[in-house]
Every structure is written in structure tokens, then in C-alpha cells.
Structure 1
Amino acid sequence: MHKRLRYETSVRQGGQLNILVLGGTGFLGAQVVQQCVALGHNVSVFSRGLFAESPGYRLAGMATLKHVQHFYGDRNKGIDALKVLDDCWDVCIDLCGYTAPQVRESTTWLRDKVRHYIYISAVRAFLPSPEHMINESSERYSPIDENITRVDNETYGPLKAACESIVHEVFEGRNTILRPQVMVGPNDLSGRMTYWLLRAKNQPVMLPGDGDDFLQVVDVTDVASFIVRVSENRYLGEFNLAGHKISWRAFSQLLGIQHGVWVNNQIIKNAGLTFRELPLFRPRGSNEASYMNISHDKAVSCGFRISEMSDTISRIMDWIGHTDITKMIPDDIQYEQLSPEAEAQLIREQLF
């Protein structure tokens, strides 16, 4: 009761929100915190890493850091790690809830300290639907057993579905579920978009499929802006966040590729290649292609703004021009991706 009374007597001043961000130092988190601070909100960040050393904030400069309160802890260590969060907030933005225990403990601890809980899920919470566009009403995975904490390609979707169910249960009537698609933009260390931007300089360039498969990603800045909008307007419910869907042929044109060789899907399949070796490529008709066919209509109706792919590519290219990508993209990711030698071999198979 003491905490609830504390919350009810906290008053926002001049439209400012007191915002708690769980995991605010990564790719999306840095964008969210920067935008919140720029709009004059009071921001607290809970993370296990050193805030000032995260990639996003090395670029942001110290101006943002001076306006952020920092709490350090590892939510994997249980509810005791969350006890430093002994305050009250208008909004909690949960960016790093991947397993049921993490989300169960954070929602339980914050239930009477937070008015509005925003959980960042993923479109992978939905069951594959190769024949139909996925929207907010599409069927989700059944929540996975809460004792399973292994995060991999097989468990990721069911884990997200379980976390969503917990948020709905604990913050009933005062939560928002946001499901971003594959996010891209400057400072993205996943190597997914940068792979193609760098390979585009090759002559010739191996291109997957026949050009008619689809690519759909979302700009991280757009996602962050909508998260802030949801916070300020207290939009409740579920929203899928996806960019414009384009063909791989159109994508190759945006990359400026003039000497590309389309390698058919059968050759790619025979070589055992997946979206790990060929980032972002999901051949049409496959289960994975389901996640390149996401409706964003509901979010757009609430003010979600979508950048043109050409603008996103321009921002990433500008970042690449000022960054040593080979030192920033983790070695294990670079090792997974298709090597130039393997690329050349696929081109030979297609041509000869």
C-alpha cells in the first residue's frame, strides 16, 4: 500500500514523464533514451553494463548521459537485483525481457511502482504464416514453459509469447505490447544490413533468388519514436512495427548494384544456406518468409511513421563511412556470413 500511495501522489510536471527503461544501452535502447531526454522526460535506466561505454552512447556524447539516472543490476539474478528500483515511474519500457523469469520478476516487482508497462516483443511471437499477412490478430505461439530459458531460433518465438502473456496478466489493462520486425539503422552490430551494403561494392555481386522474394525491415529510429509516442499518449494494446515491403530486385537497385548475378533458390538450398549466411533473405513460401510480410496498419493509424528504405540506407552508409565495421561487428557474426570465396562459387554454379 505504501508504494501505491507514493505512485498516486507523484505528479508529472509540465508534461514530463518519469520513464524507467530496462536495458537502455543497446541498439534500440540508446535511441529510446536519447529521444526521451530530447523531449524533456526524466529517464532512469536499469542495465547490467557500463552505460557510458555502450556503442550507442559513445556516439551520443555526454549531453544525454547527464540527464539520465543509472541503476546497475543483472535481472538474470532474480528479483533481488531489481530491488535497487525503489521508486515510482509513469512508464516502464522493457527492452531486454527475453525469458519468462525475467519478465515475471520485473512485472511483479514493478506492479505497484509503474502506471504503464510497455513490453518490446517481436514479430517472431507469431506462428509462421507463409500464405497470409501477419497482423495483430494472427495466431501466436503457445507460451513456452516458464522454466525454459534457453534462447535460440527454436525457442525465441515461444519465449516472447510467454513474456507477452505475463505482461497481460500482471499489468492487465495498463500495458502495451510492441512487436518490431528486423530493425536496421546506424550503430546496428548485427551485421545484417551492413553485409549487403558492403557486398554491393563487389563485381559481380551474388544476389539471392530471382528478385521476386520480399524484404521488409524497420528503421530503429522509427521504432524508438513510436515507443516514445506510445509512452506520451498512453496507447494500450498490441502493435506490430514493420517497414515498407519491397522486392529484392528493388532492394538491389537501392544498393546501386549494376553487376548482380541472381542465384536461384535451389542452388542456395543445396548449399545449405540460411538467413544466417545470407542475412535478411527469406525465400518466398518458407516459414521464415512469414516475418517479411507484416501489417503495420494499426500502428500507422496511431502515428507510426515509416522511413523510406533509401533514407535508412543513406544513414547507414554515412555511419559506415565513419566507422571501422570490421572491428565493431562481432567475430562470430562475421564468421557465419557467406565468405567472398563461397559467394564466388555460387556465382560460378549459377552461370555455368
Structure 2
Amino acid sequence: MDILVIGGSVFLGRTIVEEAMARGHAVTTFNRGRTGTDVPGAAVVHGDREDKADLERLAAAGPWDAVIDVCGFTPRVVGDSVRALNGRASSYTFISSISAYEDWPAARVDEHSPRFACAPDADETDGGYGILKAGCERAVESEFEGRVLVLQPGLILGPYENVGRLPWWLRRIAAGGKVLAPGDPDRPMQLVDARDIAVFTLDRIEAGAEGRYLVGGEAANTTMGQWLADCRAATGSDAELVWVDDDFLLEREVSPWTELPLWAPPTDDMAGVWLSDSSKAAEDGFRCRPVRETVADTWAWLKAAGLPQTLPSYRGHAGTQGIDAEKEERLLAEWEARHAAP
């Protein structure tokens, strides 16, 4: 197959390109050439999807059997891309997000759950990330004149991760010492490897599939305690995990999800964060590798080349992953003083 990937130089997009090429497909990538390096062996068209002339130049480089859009964030912009590529490909796959569902992360969601009511021509000022992702989905669904496939990943980890969640934990635990471990070590999680999403995406495209799939991963495929133990095993660290209660951290205004990446205390607004239902995708072949494999492979990638110490901008959230070292030390001292023997 001839496949066009819009994006394709970082994280999930790069993983999809590598998987497609490993299967023998011819791949063209379209991106600005600013965020990451292009995958060797792929044909490359550099340009800006917000520039009409660049889109026309891209369309002229076709046709393709399939388009995979990995970096659409604004409905109006995605709609322009779709219209430019109509007639130049048989199918259009849009990589969206579980955040497109208005009930997530407060409640369990599946493909029948309501999406945010965002128009397919909305602009970036018309909502936040999840709201706009829902609008992007509608832009593809309403504008593309061919087969439409929408994939909605949950929390993605794995090599090439540019958000910095798992890389932060790996680096912190590798540094050793006492590590603030948040909440309940037995709390179930639901994580998914970018490589497994890439495999399922290509499988569905090759099968000529249409429709929407939520790909949040297997329910309870690890726990917070097991995941951090996997980080310690992968790095060979002798770090001591000090488990600190949710309430203690919340009372001290520690930010869930960012200061302690993937810490999701059981508050009402996060009650469904690890409960998404990927059964439809599983019935059609979606499979997830063990989380420990994801952790080990991400550490190997970090050691080999990996993420820089200072993250580049990622959707306006650069450098926000991970707690300040002095704050962590202060919280641990307070926690241990509270629980010291009289």
C-alpha cells in the first residue's frame, strides 16, 4: 500500500511510520520538519497544513491508498486537509483521543459515550484539547469522500514518548534515594503502548475497516505499585519507594497527573480515568504487550538516544512533567515526621 502519514516524526506518528515500513508499505510523511527527524526510508513532503499552497503541493504528490492523520488538533485545520486530499486516497484514518468524550476522566466510556459537542469547523479558540479533538473527528467524518477510521487512544507510553511521563519516572527512579510514590500501590491502571496502537491501526487499514475504536488498553493491566517496581527493575536502581497518601498530597496542592505523572487520585473528577472500555477493539484484534516490556524498552531508548533533559513544547505543556526536587524532599520529610515513632 501507499500510505500518507500527516505528522510521522515523533512518538505515535513515528511508531506508525516504522510499523508500516516494516510491513513493506511505501510511506510518505507530511510535516513542517521542525519537531522531530524524519524516518529514514520514508518519502518526505515538508510543509504546513495551515498553508493552502502547501496542501495543494501535498495533494499533487499523491495518490495514496490511505491517509493517517496523527497530528490534527483544530477542526478547521483538519477539515482543510481532508478537503485537499479528497480524491487522492481511498481511506482517511484520524488519530484522536479518549479526551474527545465529555464524561472522561470522571466516568467509564466506550464508543457509545457522548462526545463533546464541537463543530467540525471550530477554531483553536473554541475549546480545549478534548473538545477540539471531538470536532476534528467530525471534520473527517463529514468531509472525507471515502472510508473513515477514527482511533481514540487512552494513555500512551513507549519509546519515543515526547510528553515525558514515563521518561520522568524512569529518570527519577534511576537517580535513586527516597522516591515519593503517590497514593495506593494497589490502585489499578490502564496503560497502552504506542507500538500496539500502531499495529492495530495498520491491521484495520489493511482490512478496509471503518468506524470508531477506543484503544485505551486492557483494563487493570498494571497497578501503580507494579508499574513503579517495573521502573526500578528496568533501571537497576536501589531507589526506595515511599508511599504517600492521596489526601496528604492533595491537601498540599500537589497536582495530579503532572507533578507526579499518572497519579490519578480517586476523586469524583478522575473516577473513570482507568476504566475505558476497549472491548470493541479487542474483538477485532487489538492486543497489548505487558507493561513491564513497555517500561524496559522505553528505558533502553532513553539510554540509547532518547528524550532530552529539557522537553520541547508539547501542546503548551513543556517542562511540566515531574515534581520539583526540593518540593519532593520537603514533602517526604513532612510525611516521615508525621509517621515517626513517638
TM-score range, shorter chain: 0.7 to 0.9
Give, in angstroms, the shift of residue 325 of structure 1: 4.5
Q: Report the alpha carbon displacement of residue 283 of structure 1 after superposing the two structures with TM.
A: 1.2
SS at 2:114's partner residue? coil
Match of residue 252, structure 1, among 216, 228, 238: 228
Q: 1:294 maps to which residue?
A: 276
Percent identity, please: 29
Distance 1:284 1:214, change over 3 A: farther
Aligned residue among 148, 153, 156 for 2:129: 156
CA distance in 2, matches of 1:305, 1:330: 31
1:184 corresponds to 2:166? no
1:311 and 1:28 mapped to 2: Cα distance? 17
Larger deviation, residues 273-282 vs 126-135? 126-135
Displacement after TM superposition at 1:350 (Å): 1.9
Offset of 1:164 from its aligned partner? 0.8
| Structural RMSD (CA) | 2.4
1:330 deviation in Å? 3.5
* CA displacement 1:135-161 (0-9 Å, x = unmatched): 11112111158343149xx61111011
Aligned residues: 323
Classify 1:162/1:235 alpha carbon distance in 2 versus 1 (closer, same or farther; 3 Å).
Answer: same
- The aligned counterpart of 1:54 is 36
Aligned residue for 1:31?
Answer: 15
The one-letter code of the counterpart of 2:322 is Q
Q: Distance in 2 between matches of 1:266 and 1:237?
A: 41
Alignment correspondent of 2:56: 83
User: 1:220-262: per-residue Cα shift (whole Å, max 9, x none)?
Assistant: 1111111111111111111111223322122233233773222
Aligned pair partner of 1:225 in 188, 199, 209: 199
What are the residue-to-residue correspondences of 1:254-273 with 2, within 5 Å?
254-256=230-232, 259-273=240-254
Segments of 5+ residues of structure 2 without an aligned counterpart are 233-237
Preserved CA contact (<8 Å) 1:22 1:45: yes
- 1:328–1:338 Cα change, 3 Å: closer
**1:213 aligned partner:** 187
Query: Structure 1: 5+ residue runs without aligned partners?
Result: 1-16, 58-63
Alignment of 1:232-247 (within 5 A): 232-244=206-218, 245=220, 246-247=222-223
**Secondary structure of 2:91 counterpart:** strand
* SS state at 2:260 partner: coil
Q: Which has the higher helix share?
A: 1
Matched, 1:279 2:279: no
Q: Is the 8 A contact 1:18 1:91 kept in 2?
A: yes
Query: Are 1:40 and 2:24 counterparts?
Result: yes
1:200 aligns with 2:185: no
Specify the SS of the correspondent of 1:349. Answer: helix
Contact kept, 8 Å, 2:102 with 2:114, in 1: the verdict is yes
Give the Cα–Cα distance (whole angstroms) in 2 for the partners of residues 328 and 204 of structure 1: 23
Query: 1:130: Cα distance to partner?
Result: 5.7
Query: Per the alignment, do residues 161 and 199 of structure 1 end up closer, same or farther by CA in structure 2, a change over 3 Å counting?
Result: same
Residue identity opposite 1:254 in structure 2: D
Q: Is the CA contact (8 Å cut-off) linking 1:267 and 1:346 kept in structure 2?
A: no
The structural deviation recorded for 1:326 is 4.4
Aligned mates of 1:211, 1:224 — CA distance in 2? 30
What one-letter code is carried by the residue in structure 2 that aligns with 1:343?
E
Cα distance in 2 between the residues matched to 1:191 and 1:131: 23
The DSSP-based 3-state class of the residue aligned with 2:124 is coil
Cα distance, 1:39–1:324 mapped onto 2, change above 3 Å: closer
- Change beyond 3 A, Cα 1:291–1:114: farther
TM-score (norm 1): 0.84
CA distance in 1, matches of 2:228, 2:45: 44
* Residues 1:74 and 1:326: Cα distance change in structure 2 (over 3 Å): closer
CA contact (8 A) 2:98 2:104 kept: no
